[in-house]
Amino acid sequence: MFAPGTKAWMRNPHATSPPYILVTLNEEPEPGSLALATTGEGEEVRVDVKEDLFLANEEHAPDNSMLFHHSEAALLENLMRRHNLKLPYSTTGNTLISVNPCEPLPELYSTATMQQYLGRTKPGTPKHLYQVAEKAYRNLLYTGSCQAVVISGVSGAGKTEANKHILQFLCWRAAQAAPLRSASGGGPLAAARQLSSSLLDSQVSPLSRAILQSSSVCESFCNACTSNNHNSSRFGKFIRLLIDDDGAVLGASVDAYLLEKSRLVHQCAGERSFHVLYQLLADTHRRAQYGLDGHASDGAAAQPPAAHPALGFAYLSGSGRTTIASVEAAEARATTPPSGRRPRRGSRPSASLPPSGRRSPAF
């Protein structure tokens, strides 16, 4: 197994990153002895074959369960190889794993990419969130039973973005089947396989668009900047997307829980409170309207005009951070409608609701 010239991962003896180091074995180890190996820098090391050495795979695989050699080191290597190839998604059996690319990848979430996962996914199609969403949508229509997509991970893993992309796909997917509900005799699944290119370019319904835009409201009131993530969700949420028997979106609901209320009065050094407070203060019109200009609360010293308005409030100034790189301009626009007009005081947005008493399958 450990013949001379074999590539393997050696556990890093130092408590630093990376956790494993790629080495080449110089000799076949004797039972119970340490093996002599050479690192990529040419350093010769002795390593315990049984405890600290793991065989390396020659190629990456879209499914981790298909790797020839399995170990923690082999799994990390596979994920990093795919990450470097701009392929953030892989699977382990039926579980989708994503590595946050930490950079925009617009082509990965374009309409053209969505089309690749419409209907049955062709062999060789890269792993993607859309594949999970499409399977859930098809199972919902085929079985009539509610489907669930669980998104979990550490802070900064990309859960918020993954949730938005899945919702976007499902709303877009429902719009694709809508024009053919009555035209196909084979049901919604057969209709999905007969979509024309013109239908693929159709826009989502106004109701679906309102559902997608609600994510921004949740992020504004419940997300904050932390030391690990500039847009960290400080709450849990359970989203129900209601779908009728023909595959159309009927409505949605969001249940929020475990909101980090303590963040309102205290933030750790270098972090912020919830985004909405800074968005409100970034709008000069709103500051004047609500009397938030030039008033320092108890415990916060008055700030010069050039300072950020949040520094005048004790609950926002304690952490020493009021802005986020490349976000400040967006916050200034957050409360201004695209048309440039201010909403009338007391005006409220309207949205369509599903028919009263009608029960529908849901995500």
What are 322's two structure tokens?
Answer: 């009021």
**Cα 257–chain centre separation:** 19
Residue 110 CA to residue 117 CA, distance in Å, equals 12
What are 4's two structure tokens?
Answer: 């001379």
Residues 6+ apart with CB under 8 A from 195: 118, 119, 176, 177, 180
**Cα 179–chain centre separation:** 30
Residue 332 CA to residue 284 CA, distance in Å, equals 9
Residue 275 CA to residue 66 CA, distance in Å, equals 43
Would you state the pLDDT for residue 286? 86
**Which of these, 291, 321, 327, lies nearest to 308 by C-alpha position?**
321
Tens digit of each residue's pLDDT, the chain (363 residues): 778 888 999 998 886 778 999 999 888 877 777 888 889 888 888 888 888 889 999 999 999 999 999 999 999 999 999 999 999 999 998 899 999 988 888 889 999 999 999 887 778 889 999 999 999 999 999 999 999 999 999 888 999 999 999 999 999 999 886 554 444 444 444 444 334 343 344 467 888 888 888 888 999 999 999 988 899 999 999 999 999 988 999 999 999 889 999 999 999 999 999 999 999 998 888 888 888 875 555 555 555 555 788 888 999 988 989 988 756 555 555 544 443 444 444 443 333 333 333 344 555
Would you state the pLDDT for residue 341? 43
State which H helix or E strand residue 237 sits in. Answer: strand 236-243
Would you state the pLDDT for residue 353? 34
CB 208 within 8 A of CB 174: yes
User: DSSP secondary-structure letter at 159?
Assistant: H
CB 20 within 8 A of CB 73: yes
Residues 6+ apart with CB under 8 A from 222: 233, 234, 235, 237, 256, 259, 274
pTM above 0.85, yes or no: no
Would you state the pLDDT for residue 292? 85
